[in-house]
Amino acid sequence: MKVLVSDPLSEAGVKTLQETPDIEVDVNTDLTPEELKGIIGQYHALVIRSATKATAEIIDAAHNLKVIGRAGIGLDNVDIPAASKKGIVVMNTPEGNTITAAEHTIAMIMALTRNIPQATTSLKEGKWEKKKFHGQEIFNKTLGVIGVGRIGRLVAERAKGMEMKVITYDPYIKPDIIERMDIEPVSFDELLQRSDYITIHTPSTEETINMINKEAIAKMKSGAMLINCARGGIVNEDDLFEALKSGHLSGAALDVFSKEPPGKIKLMSLPNFICTPHLGASTKEAQDKVAKDVAEQIVAYLLYGSVKNAVNVPSISPELLSTLRPYATLAEKMGSLQIQLADNAILEVQINYSGKVTNYDVTPLTTAMLKGLLTPILKDQVNFVNAPVIAAERGIKVVESKTKAPEDFSSLIKLTVKTQKGKNIISGTIFGNNLLRILRINNFYLEAIPEGHNLLINNLDKPGVIGRITSTLGRYEVNISRMQVGEEKAKKQNVIFLATNVSVNDEILKELRGLEDISLVRRIEL
């Protein structure tokens, strides 16, 4: 088996591959896209970091490729749908840099508080400006942590060790789970208003992009400090500049930027702004760990068919993979649809299987559903291995059941998700040649295809409603590729599941929500 390492990888990972019998390793980290395309066909595995772009064109040329392994978390540089279509497993190493990232956040808090970078520069210039660089203690200060996943949780633990008061905003974790961490759960606005320091630990999602903007900053305590070592784009850098320049915020520290490298942005001119070039995962220990992890995962898959930390395939035996894979895809899509419909932290998930699918072990399908449920929140941090663990950590109760007699279909999956505000029910099945269909959304029955860009609209069953919707989309040059309508005759209500050629932006959503006889509009990405 031939493995290509196309990005710089720690020696620990390369050595693991080289010392494995039946594995031949080539390390070539200076390939252009054209050069990579020209040679990728001879390899069975590709090991990358963030530099190599595994595009659809590269993947199409990878005639023998079985697996792509990313040493690290982010997979923005891999065309996962193209890999999935070709049957290539995509793996990452989500846990290797957790401690390193948390420690970098604490380091940024301390450097910001005590003006360490500024004082270092001053002293190296021959100055002795003790009075200029007065800092403050973090003892007894309030740290607001946005997102208490694994990294956010470690930051909170370390902050408590320094006797800071820790509060958090994380709408996807039940308050009682947060309280068990000895952290106070609060609303987003309350966190902004109470915190002396705010640190961000969420992935970059539609919900979190531009989360810390002019409006959010205005609610922050005067003199507060902001730290972002998570993902670029969550903080609006122009709005942050104005807040630092005016003195409303006394300091900010960024390890990540909306564009990397950021160049000479305005923030760089401010004395109360410090930064690092995306060093959150950059320690020897973290680099060694992710390199060794990805090498071991590649070896396990190539030689034994064992799947770990895959983001596009559940752990199913090769014999059953062709049979169950469509159901795993359906379950994952149903989970994704559910979280995009949810308004609150999820308390319980009930998944019922009926018909022929009950003849198999459905555990991988439930795992696929959980991955779909969590991915819109956590992005690349969740995979088919850790999804059940993360769900348990977030206090999500999972109830799995089987019913032998199908409801008019050879196999059916019914997914019920309970939140503090109620519940949503979705049913789905596989037709014919692996055709995925959503058959039910709450009390509405339809036959929708769960893929691509979609809108889900609830409306009163009156003449002219669909016309107003299509006219609005047409004015914005949004093309409708499919539309399914389900009705609840007793209440004279409809659900419209509408597929579009592009993701509908916030401006269009706002206009649709303002149309007469429409009660709900949701953007659904599948």
pLDDT in tens, 23-34: 999 999 999 999
**Residue with the larger pLDDT of the pair 384 and 390:** 390
What average pLDDT does range 27-47 have in this prediction? 97
Q: Which of 455, 454, 456, 471 is closest to 515 using CA atoms?
A: 471
Pairing of strands 346-355, 411-419: antiparallel
Residues 330-372: tens digit of each pLDDT: 999 999 999 999 988 899 999 999 999 999 999 999 999 999 9
pLDDT band with cut points at 50, 70 and 90 for residue 526:
very high
Residues 47-95: tens digit of each pLDDT: 999 899 999 999 999 999 999 999 998 898 999 989 988 879 999 998 8
Helix (H) or strand (E) holding 400: strand 397-403
Write down the residue that tokens 């009926």 correspond to: 354
Please tell me the predicted confidence (pLDDT) of residue 318.
65
**Known catalytic residue: 231?**
yes
Please tell me the predicted confidence (pLDDT) of residue 86.
85
Please tell me the predicted confidence (pLDDT) of residue 321.
73
**Known catalytic residue: 325?**
no
- The secondary structure of the chain in percent helix, strand, coil, rounded to multiples of 5, reads 35, 25, 35
Query: Residue 399's beta-bridge partner residues?
Result: 350
Cα→Cα distances 182→101, 168, 384, Å:
21, 11, 29
Instruction: Show the 3-state SS of 404-443.
Output: CCCCCCCEEEEEEEEECCEEEEEEEEEECCCEEEEEEECC
Please tell me the predicted confidence (pLDDT) of residue 406.
64
Domains in the chain (CATH in brackets) are 1-95+283-313 (3.40.50.720), 98-275 (3.40.50.720)
- φ and ψ at residue 74, rounded to 5 degrees: -60, 135
Cα angle, residue 343 at apex, residues 338 and 346 outer, rounded to 5°: 65
Q: What is the CA radius of gyration of the chain?
A: 25
Residues 401-443: tens digit of each pLDDT: 998 876 678 899 999 999 988 999 999 999 988 899 999 999 9
User: How far is it, in rounded angstroms, from Cα 104 to Cα 41?
Assistant: 39
Catalytic residue chosen out of the listed positions 49, 104, 158, 278: 278
What average pLDDT does range 449-458 have in this prediction? 97
pLDDT band with cut points at 50, 70 and 90 for residue 400:
very high
Please tell me the predicted confidence (pLDDT) of residue 314.
73
pLDDT band with cut points at 50, 70 and 90 for residue 13:
very high
What average pLDDT does range 444-455 have in this prediction? 96
Please tell me the predicted confidence (pLDDT) of residue 386.
82
Residues 310-321: tens digit of each pLDDT: 988 776 666 677
Percent of the chain residues past pLDDT 70, beyond the cut: 99
Q: Look up the pTM and report it.
A: 0.81
Taking 90 as the threshold, does the pLDDT of residue 222 lie above it? Answer: yes
**Known catalytic residue: 260?**
yes
Percent of the chain residues past pLDDT 90, beyond the cut: 84
Please tell me the predicted confidence (pLDDT) of residue 404.
81
Average confidence score pLDDT of the chain: 94
Q: Which of 198, 241, 203 is closest to 220 using CA atoms?
A: 198
Residues 157-197: tens digit of each pLDDT: 999 999 999 999 999 999 999 999 999 999 999 999 999 99
Please tell me the predicted confidence (pLDDT) of residue 489.
85
Provide the strand spans (E) within 212-293: 224-228, 249-254, 273-275
Please tell me the predicted confidence (pLDDT) of residue 315.
66
Please tell me the predicted confidence (pLDDT) of residue 350.
98
Cα angle, residue 176 at apex, residues 172 and 180 outer, rounded to 5°: 110
Please tell me the predicted confidence (pLDDT) of residue 407.
67
Catalytic residue chosen out of the listed positions 70, 150, 231, 437: 231
Please tell me the predicted confidence (pLDDT) of residue 385.
76
